[in-house]
Amino acid sequence: MKKIISSFLVVLFLLTSSAFAESDGIRLELELETIEGIKMIPVREVFEAMDLSVQWISDTRTVSATDEDHLIEFKIDSLQARRNGEKVQLDFPAKIVNSRTFITKNSIEKLINRETNWDKDSKTLLIKNKKENDFKDTLTYSNLVDEKTQEEMRNTMEKSGIQKDSLDLFFEEVNEFNRIVENKSLV
pLDDT tens for residues 74-98? Answer: 999 999 999 988 899 999 999 999 9
Give tens-digit pLDDT for 3-21: 444 443 333 333 333 554 4
Element spanning 116, H or E: strand 116-119
**Confidence (pLDDT) at 14:** 34
User: Mean pLDDT throughout 132-156?
Assistant: 62
Please state, in angstroms and rounded to a whole number, the distance separating the CA atoms of residues 88 and 142: 29
Contact 154, 167 (CB under 8 A): yes
For 130, which DSSP code? Answer: P
Q: What is the mean pLDDT of residues 105-109?
A: 91
Mean pLDDT of the chain: 79
CA proximity to 123, closest of 22, 23, 49, 42: 42
The Cα 109–Cα 75 span in angstroms is 17
Q: Give the C-alpha separation, 64 to 83, whole Å.
A: 10
Binning pLDDT at 50, 70 and 90, where does residue 155 land?
Answer: confident
Task: State pTM to two decimals.
Answer: 0.58
Please report the pLDDT score of residue 82 as a whole number.
94
Res. 117: pLDDT tops 80: yes
pLDDT tens-digit readout, 31-47: 889 999 999 999 999 99
Chain Cα centroid distance, residue 62: 18
Q: Is the pLDDT of residue 109 over 60?
A: yes
- CA 95, 72, 24 angle in degrees (round to 5)? 95
